[in-house]
Amino acid sequence: MSNEEAELRVQELTAGYGGPPIIDQVSLTARRGAITAIVGPNGAGKSTLLKAVAGLIRPTAGRVFVEGKEVTGQPTETLVRRGIAYVPQVENVFPDLTVRENLDMGGYVRKSGVRERIEQLFLLFPDLRASAHRRASTLSGGQRTMLALARGLMVDPAVLILDEPSAGLSPRFVGLIWERIEQIRSTNVAVVIVEQNTRETLRHAQWAYVLVLGRNRLEGTGHDLLENDEVVDLYVGRLS
């Protein structure tokens, strides 16, 4: 993969929460217009990796580049301006604000064009337009996830980082979430995702990394990893 295509490059990143490192010398590359998945067993450090890239925890070693510029260790607010949008699994919307107010807040770093961007996102997420004046606390879990995705897109990110966006959702909404993620990818955004359903995630991923005990174990196209015996036996399971 050429560096010209790489919106995000992570080189030998090490990070944790004050004790032994949770991730150790992890590397990955995410290119524009592609879904890059991070899969592996529980406790592999997948969410910790996302938080370290997004500036929520400070790496103790390694480097992070966005669009070729180093952003290692910079705070989340600075990283948003540099092109990283991070959507956590929980507490990803303001429950007491309306849908439109949440989107306004998501565009706080924009110098102009907030209203126009909201209208663009209402085209991508038509359910949100119908609920624009409802408080986020009154939305279903799937609608809140849609709102969280839209909030992340308010800043026109180069890289959209998603931590288990379909967790706890009904199968119908899981399908809708993946449809929206594919649409986002098609707008030339680099999507980096951690998800519970390894098989479904690898089906959508142009490239994927398998983390085990906080370290890189395998990488390849989603299709190739679905054909890999180790991945299937340990992390995916065989279809009967």
* pLDDT score of 234: 74
Nearest one of 169, 161, 121, 119 to 144, comparing CA atoms: 169
Q: What is the mean pLDDT of residues 85-108?
A: 94
Q: For residue 237, name the pLDDT band (cuts at 50, 70, 90).
A: low
Q: Which of 155, 152, 118 is nearest to 133 (CA)?
A: 118
The pLDDT assigned to 230 comes to 85
Distance CA(67)–CA(43), nearest Å, equals 30
Task: Spell out the alpha helix ranges (H) of 14-140.
Answer: 46-54, 76-82, 99-106, 114-124, 126-130
pLDDT range class, residue 240, cuts 50, 70, 90: very low
Out of 3-7, 62-66, 194-198, 222-226, pick the least confident: 3-7
Give CA–CA dist 70/16, Å, rounded: 20
User: Is residue 198's pLDDT more than 50?
Assistant: yes
Is the model's pLDDT at 236 over the cut of 80? no
The pTM of this model reads: 0.93
- 68: CB partners within 8 A, 6+ apart: 3, 6
Report pLDDT digits (tens) over 117-164. Answer: 999 999 999 989 999 999 999 999 999 999 999 999 999 999 999 999
Q: How far apart are CA 89 and CA 106, in angstroms?
A: 16
Choose among 35, 147, 52: nearest CA to 91.
147
Predicted pLDDT at 1: 44
What pLDDT is attached to residue 86? 96
Q: What is the mean pLDDT of residues 70-85?
A: 93
Q: Which helix (H) or strand (E) holds 147?
A: helix 141-153
- Report the pLDDT value the prediction gives residue 196, as an integer from 0 to 100: 86
User: What whole-number distance in Å separates Cα of residue 178 and Cα of residue 76?
Assistant: 26
Mean of pLDDT over the chain: 92
**How far is residue 48 from each of residues 38, 172, 225, measured CA to CA in Å?**
11, 28, 22
Domains of the chain: 6-88+159-236 (3.40.50.300)
What would the mean pLDDT of 75-100 be, rounded to a whole number? 94
pLDDT of residue 2: 43
Asked if residue 71 has pLDDT above 80, the reply is yes
Cα radius of gyration (the chain): 17
Residue 239: what pLDDT? 57
Q: What was the pLDDT predicted at 138?
A: 96
Q: What angle do CA 85, 91, 94 make, to 5 degrees?
A: 85
From residue 235, alpha-carbon distances to 38, 48, 177 in Å are: 12, 19, 22
- Residues of the chain by 3-state class (helix, strand, coil), percent to 5: 40, 25, 35
Tokens of 214: 């906080």
Q: pLDDT tier at 233 (50, 70, 90 boundaries)?
A: confident
Question: Would you tell me the crossing angle of helices 171-186 and 114-124 to the nearest 10 degrees?
Answer: 130
Transcribe 148-161 into DSSP letters: HHHHHHTT--SEEE
